[in-house]
Amino acid sequence: MRPRGDFAERLKRIPPYPFSETDRARKAALAAGRDVIHLGIGDPDTPTPEYVREALKEAVEDPATHRYALDEGDPGFRRACARWFKKRFGVALDPEREVYPTIGSKEALAHLVLGLVDPGEKTLAPEPGYPVYRASTTLAGGEAVPLDLAPENGFLPDLSAVSDEDAAAARVLFLNYPNSPTGALASRGFYLEAVRFARRHELVIVGDAAYSEIVFEGRAPSILEVEGAGEVAVELHSLSKTFNMTGWRIGFAVGAAGLLAPLAKVKSNVDSGVFTAVQRAGAAALDGYGDFVPGLVELYRRRRDVFCAAMGAAGWEVAPPKSTFYVWMPTPKGLPGAEVARRALEEADVVLTPGGGFCRPGGPAERFVRAALTVEESRLAEAAKRLAKIRW
């Protein structure tokens, strides 16, 4: 008999969630009375815009929002998503069949994988990459095959390097552009190549577009803009970063009805949808996009410039990201990222995320750290000043 405290095998195969770890370290330092600068998680520090908060207040007063939202959710939210998508990417979606509300993109991608991957099957997961790609694959009983994102390839995966064996066993190809943690962008040309690859190998592309609006150079296309993508790709969008709504838990998946069906089936069995009042506020957020998002992008651009200049002056090798609010930095002297992050907290009261959180054990990303630009400019400058004092 298995002891009660011996939990499921699948749980033993996933590491602790890296951003919960950095948060624990931060809280312990704060509890010890230290002046901590937290660059360890991409959680926007400025508030959700007032017009969105007002929309929530109004929606909450309507008792119709108090009941189960269930999986398909609020038709008004799905229509707002389709409207925004058409305006932003020029792609027309059927709000009834090709848009699906989610509890943020993290939940959606984990549940989608559960609906697509059987034990023994594989996924192709970029590294460095969001840890949920690997974890969700493991929870589904599958194996994540790392696709290394090299700087010399613009942090795009080299799909021609995937072995025939892996391609044949893989059910999912994860893509994430704008990319966390590297800040890289993908072009339509790359998406076309990925779509051809997915068609050849009968794969589903799960496009994580959580950072699609935080872009400093050019624009980030949707994979659904390219020919043939509709048959192979599901794209996950989130209101978290675009509208400072991480705590609200709202996003949406887009794609062909047939590809959204596994997500819908899993979700209808494990959750009961997004609070309808939050969906109404989400619709308001999307409709007010133009009044809010450009200002937010400028805020992050200024922070990026201040931080990268200060870190560069401190002797770190820093390439300003083209997108997202992350700075992905090789560690001084190639030290392990975990050691650098530990010393940054101990000696400078600065929380960084070690690169190991974004890759397999021993992956090249272990010699990087990530900084999130989610504190004020003055604090970013102060963080760089403190880090500059450490003798590595």
Residue 49, preceding peptide bond in cis (omega within 30° of 0): no
Q: How far is the CB of 391 from ligand MLT (least distance, A)?
A: 28
Give Cβ neighbours of residue 143 (< 8 Å, ≥ 6 apart). Answer: 120, 121, 122, 123, 137
CA 88 to chain centre: 19
Q: Is the Cβ of residue 95 or residue 131 nearer to ligand MLT in the bound state?
A: 131
Q: How far is the CB of 20 from ligand MLT (least distance, A)?
A: 8
Q: Is the Cβ of residue 109 or residue 266 nearer to ligand MLT in the bound state?
A: 109
One-letter amino acid for residue 29 of the chain: A
Other C-beta atoms lying within 10 Å of the C-beta of residue 157? 26
Q: How far is the CB of 352 from ligand MLT (least distance, A)?
A: 12
**345 contacts 206 by C-beta, under 8 angstroms:** no
**325 contacts 342 by C-beta, under 8 angstroms:** no
The secondary element (H helix, E strand) that includes residue 205 is: strand 204-208
* Matching residue, tokens 């900084």: 371
Give Cβ neighbours of residue 196 (< 8 Å, ≥ 6 apart). Answer: 228
Q: Is the Cβ of residue 180 or residue 276 nearer to ligand MLT in the bound state?
A: 180
Q: Which residues of 25-64 are buried (b: 16+ CB within 10 A; e: fewer)?
A: bbeebeeeeeebbbbbbbebeeebbeebeebbeebbeeee
Q: How far is the CB of 41 from ligand MLT (least distance, A)?
A: 4
Binding residues vs ligand MLT (CB under 6 A) = 19, 41-42, 106, 180, 372
Q: Is the Cβ of residue 352 or residue 372 nearer to ligand MLT in the bound state?
A: 372
Q: Is the Cβ of residue 41 or residue 335 nearer to ligand MLT in the bound state?
A: 41
Q: Is the Cβ of residue 174 or residue 197 nearer to ligand MLT in the bound state?
A: 174
Q: How far is the CB of 108 from ligand MLT (least distance, A)?
A: 12
Q: Is the Cβ of residue 48 or residue 180 nearer to ligand MLT in the bound state?
A: 180
Residue 18, preceding peptide bond in cis (omega within 30° of 0): no
Q: How far is the CB of 68 from ligand MLT (least distance, A)?
A: 26
Which residue number is nearest to ligand MLT in terms of Cβ?
42
Give the full edge-to-edge strand order of the sheet including 251-255: 99-102, 251-255, 233-238, 204-208, 170-175, 122-127, 143-148
Instruction: Pinpoint the alpha helices (H) of the chain.
Output: 9-12, 18-31, 50-60, 75-89, 104-116, 131-139, 164-169, 188-201, 257-270, 276-287, 289-313, 337-348, 377-388
Q: How far is the CB of 241 from ligand MLT (least distance, A)?
A: 7
Q: Is the Cβ of residue 180 or residue 323 nearer to ligand MLT in the bound state?
A: 180
Q: How far is the CB of 118 from ligand MLT (least distance, A)?
A: 26
